[in-house]
Structures are given as C-alpha cells and as structure tokens.
A and B are shown apart, each in its own frame.
Chain A
Amino acid sequence: MEINWITVSAQVVNFLILVWLLKRFLYQPVIRAMDRREQKIQNRMDEANSREQEAIHEKQSYQQKLAGFEKERDDLLEETRQEARQTRSQMLDQAREETARVRSHWMREIREEKTAFIDGLRHQSLDVVETVIRKALQDLADEHLEDRIAHTFVRQLHTLDDATREAMRRSSEPATVATSFELDPAQRGTLTRSIHELIGADLTVNYTRAPELICGIELTCESQRISWNLSDYLDELSASIERAFEPLEPTGAGG
C-alpha cells in the first residue's frame, strides 16, 4: 500500500481531462437535446393550447351566430305569421266589404227594377183604367169622362173648409186650373162659375194643360192647391203590388 505520487498527478490530470471530455461529449449534448425536446414539447403544448383556445373561441362565436340566426329566424317567422294574420284579416274585411257592396248593389238594382216595374205597371194600368172608365161611362151613362171629372172637382170645391177659401179669396194672383185633357168652353164656363160662387167672384181663372196630371184636374191659387186625379186611386193598386213583392225581398237588407 504505497502511493506513487507521479501516478497520482497523472491520474489527477487524467480525471480532469475526462471531466472536460465528458462535459464536451456527453453532458452538454445530452442536456441540450433534452432541452430542445422539452422546448419542442412546450411549443407543441403552447400551440395546442392556443389552438384549443382558438377552437373554443370559434365555437363560442359560432354558437352566438347560431343563436342569432335562430332568433332572427324566429323573429322572421313571427313577423310572417303576424303579416299573414293581418293579410288574412284584411282579405276577410275586403271580402266582407265586397260582399256587402255587391249585395247592396244587387239590392239597389232589385229595388230599382221593382220601382220601374211598379211605375210601368201603374202607368199602363192608368191607361187601361182610364180607357175602361171612359168606355164604361160612355156605355152606361152616356157621359164623358172629362165632364165627370169636372163635376167631381166642383163637388170637391164644395167640401173646402173656410180657411182655405178665405186664403184663396184674398189672393192677388190669378187662380190656375191645370188639366191633363183639353177643356171645352162649356166645361170651362161651368168651372169658372163654380169657382166664383164657392171661393170668390173677383178671382181671375186661367186654364193650362198639364199632361203629368194623369186623368186629373188641379186648382192652384196663392199657396193653396186642390186637385183630383186617377193616380190617387192607383196608389192603392201600387201599395197592394208592393205588398205582393215584400216576401221576395231578402230579409235584413242593409242598404
């Protein structure tokens, strides 16, 4: 057990060289490689984390967008429903109005037709009645219709109340007798006499033709009016014809 100091110094040098060699060829390269690997792993982890964050962020953004789309869709749907309801109600209203309009138009036409028919009927029946009466008077009593009309009118003048007579008597204007037919001078004389007797002797009497007075005669003085004509009798006929039409008219007619 002896120590060779020269060998000891050589071994010290050898050991120091070995330390340097291993540091150069073993520790540094291995540690560097491990550090690089760790760095790579860290980078990948960072990248993965950032991608995950990005993915989460994108997911959230897509979810938000999706929610926005759904809301928008719901809103649109609701809006469309609302519009459809409004349109439906508008169309229903229009249809109702149209129906009512058509109905009222139709009713008006019916009424007009009815009125025209009744007027026509009245006019025709007037002619017929006039002819029949004229003929009947001629055949039965050998009298003229005009005479009977004038006679009836004079009889009507007899029934006038005092106030009317007084009003006519005080009139400054002349009295006017309108007839649908031409009066002969004898008839005019009779009428003038009757008027002078019954109303006032000073009253001037003029005679005019008025074809609109159907088979009738009319006295106008001041604001008083006395008349007789056949249409009064025909009013009864018109009323009964209108009554006959009533069941045909639609119930509850609005216009």
Chain B
Amino acid sequence: MTITPDSIVYWQWGDFELNATIVFTWLVMVLLTAGSWLVTRRLSDGPELSRWQNLLEVLVVGIRDQIAQVSHQQPGPYLPFVGTLFLFIAMANLLNVIPGYLAPTGSLSTTTALAICVFVAVPVFGIASKGAGAYLEHYIKPTALMLPFNVIGEISRTVALAVRLYGNIMSGTVIVAILLSLTPYFFPVVMQLLGLLTGMIQAYIFAILAMVYIASATSAHEHGEPDENQNKTSPEQ
C-alpha cells in the first residue's frame, strides 16, 4: 500500500527524483493556470458575463472577502499568496475523485513545503507592513523571557500546519484503501465523498490559518502568539 506519492518515482537524475508528487503538482498547476488563462484572455467588463468568468469572479471575490474579514485589512497584498494556497490545495484534493490520481497534498513533502512558505511569508509580510524592528519586537513580548517560547510556537504551528493537512488527506486515502479491502463496491464511494468534503475543508482551514498568522504579524496591536481563534477578537485596523 502506497502511503505517500513521494515513493512513486518516474525518473531519477542524480539525487533528484521525478516522483508522483511533483508530477501531479504540475498537473494541478497546469490545470489552474490553463483554466485561468482560457477564461481571463477574454474578460468582459460589461454587464454580460460568461459562466466561467462568473465562476472565477465569485472565487476571487469570495477569497478577498474572507481575507478582509479575517485580517481587517485591504486584501490586495495577501490575495495572490493566500488565494493560491486555497486554490492549489482545493484543486489537488478535488482531483482525488479521478482514479489513478494521487493528491500531492497527501505527501508530507508538499504540505511541509506549503507550511515553510507560510513560515517565511509571515515575517516577510510582517516586516513589509510594520518594519523589521517593530516586527521582531513582538518576539520578546511581554518579556524577553518569552523569546524561546515565541520561537518554539512559531515553529510548532508551522509543523502543525503541515501535519494537519498531510494527515487529513493521507488518512482519507488510507481509509479508502483499507475499506476497499474490507467492504468493496459501494461503501468506499461514500468515503470518497467524505474525502472530498474533508479536502475542501482542509484547503479552507490551511488558507485561513495562513491568513490569521500573517494578519497577526501585520496587525499593529498584536501581542504574543496568535492562535487560531484570534481572528475573531483581533481589533480592527
């Protein structure tokens, strides 16, 4: 039983392995990019919209609204990063219904890569928004004694981000595999549906958490470690 698509290697050159994770990631990238390009090359700015343009506008507006709601800031700077996190994970999970497809998000390497991106993006956005001094200052708040804990918290939430997504997607795949051996035919289909739901929820959770972390770093009144519920209580900019 294959647990991670990393282990399926199609081509190898030196240390570099062209495994299923990378191949299916490219597939998702091509689908997203090509779909976007096909629709956006003929955009209408009048009152009449094509269905696909309408779908894309709904998606973009929805993501923007979510970002604005969570961060209480203009969504513009964060939209490409957070939106792409959501779209990539959602598309990668959605394609799971295709037989023979292996979701790249079921690989710990992919989720780790995404989590690292978030890990890096948080200070980048924070420094860009508040300046390096003000950003780094929040690591020694309320006292310098908290510095190690703040750093550990920063790292641990990144690890949690990676493992949460990986675990959810991987477990879906594994459960389907196990159920197939126990109760073949129909029941695994239900689990597949459940897996789709889980996949969409995980994409949402990942993107929202990334936004929460970024918002906590860019918000002027932040103190200490933000948690997942903080977006509800963070003061308005």
Contact = CB atoms under 8 A, between A and B. Distances in A.
Interface of A: 1-12, 14-23, 25-27, 29-34, 36-37, 40
Classify the secondary structure of B's interface with A: helix
A11 B33 contact: no
A8 B120 CA distance: 14
Interface string B138-172: 00000000000000000000000000000000000
A213 B95 CA distance: 161
Nearest to B114: A15
Contact of A1 (B4, B16, B53, B83): B4
Given A22-B84, A27-B80, A6 B17 contact: yes
A29 B110 CA distance: 28
A245 B107 CA distance: 152
B45 A40 contact: yes
A27 B83 contact: yes
Contact of B33 (A1, A18, A34): A18
Contacts of A34: 45, 57, 60-61
Contact of A2 (B33, B45, B56, B108): B108
A8 to B, nearest CB: 5
A11 B110 contact: yes
25 contacts: A1-B3, A1-B4, A4-B17, A7-B6, A7-B22, A8-B113, A8-B116, A11-B22, A11-B104, A12-B113, A12-B116, A15-B117, A19-B80, A21-B33, A22-B36, A23-B84, A26-B36, A27-B60, A27-B79, A27-B80, A29-B40, A30-B56, A33-B40, A34-B45, A34-B57
Contacts, number: 123
Interface stretch (B24-32, B196-204, B219-227): B24-32
Interface of B: 3-4, 6, 15-17, 19, 21-22, 25-26, 29, 32-33, 36-37, 40, 43-47, 53, 56-57, 60-61, 79-81, 83-84, 87-88, 104, 107-110, 112-114, 116-117
Nearest to A31: B60
A253 B72 CA distance: 111
Given A11-B109, A31-B60, A33-B53, 18 more contacts: A1-B3, A4-B6, A7-B6, A7-B19, A7-B110, A7-B113, A8-B116, A11-B110, A12-B113, A14-B113, A18-B29, A18-B33, A22-B80, A29-B43, A30-B40, A30-B57, A33-B44, A37-B47
B15 A25 contact: no
Contact of A14 (B29, B53, B81): B29
Contact of A8 (B53, B84, B112): B112
Contacts of A4: 6, 17, 19, 109
B15 A6 contact: yes
A16 B117 contact: yes
Nearest to A44: B47
